[in-house]
Amino acid sequence: MFKKTGIATLEMIKEKFPSEERRNKGPYAIFECFQEIPCNPCHTSCRIKAVESIEEDINNIPDVNHDKCTGCSMCVSACPGLACFVIDETYSEDKFSLKIPYEFLPLPKEGDVVSALDREGNTVGTAEVLKVQDHERFDHTNVITLALSKEFIYSVRNIKVDGE
């Protein structure tokens, strides 16, 4: 199922994405969480109860009902596994926005151009920082909003800030 490194394959990632129609409507959550573990902050943080599979059983793999999800990003900050992201493909013609959980210091600043990393930590391009919401906003992990070329939609999930 996983690569030898424990990193999810492209096929596994693509299975988490909603329909093309939903992707064209606005922001949606992606949970890169693949194992049955007793964990539920993604569910408890979601005010509209879009994570229905965990409502049934805390051990279930979280599954977002994308018809309900508004892309609010509360789950991005709440997930202890840093496995929740919010993608908005309607950001522009050639770029998407990506909300990521971020626990390193220093935090980037809005307007910064930072290194865009894939799941293995390789630098694959650059990202523009659109918004920085620190943990006081959500009471959990900082959330960084990025603008990225659409070629990175399945690959980039982290950043490197100069000075780290």
Q: Which residues bind ligand SF4 (CB under 6 A)?
A: 29, 31, 33, 39, 41-42, 45-46, 48, 50-51, 62, 64, 69-75, 79-81, 83-84, 86
Whichever of 18 and 112 has its CB closer to ligand SF4, that residue is 18
What's the distance, CA 6 to chain centroid?
18
Min dist. Cβ of residue 90 to ligand SF4 (A)? 15
Residue pointed to by tokens 């630098």: 123
Min dist. Cβ of residue 106 to ligand SF4 (A)? 25
Min dist. Cβ of residue 10 to ligand SF4 (A)? 19
Across 59-78, b (16+ Cβ under 10 Å) vs e yields ebebebebeebebbbbbbbb
Whichever of 52 and 124 has its CB closer to ligand SF4, that residue is 52
Using an 8 Å Cβ cutoff, are 113 and 157 in contact? Answer: no
- Whole-number CA gyration radius for the chain: 15
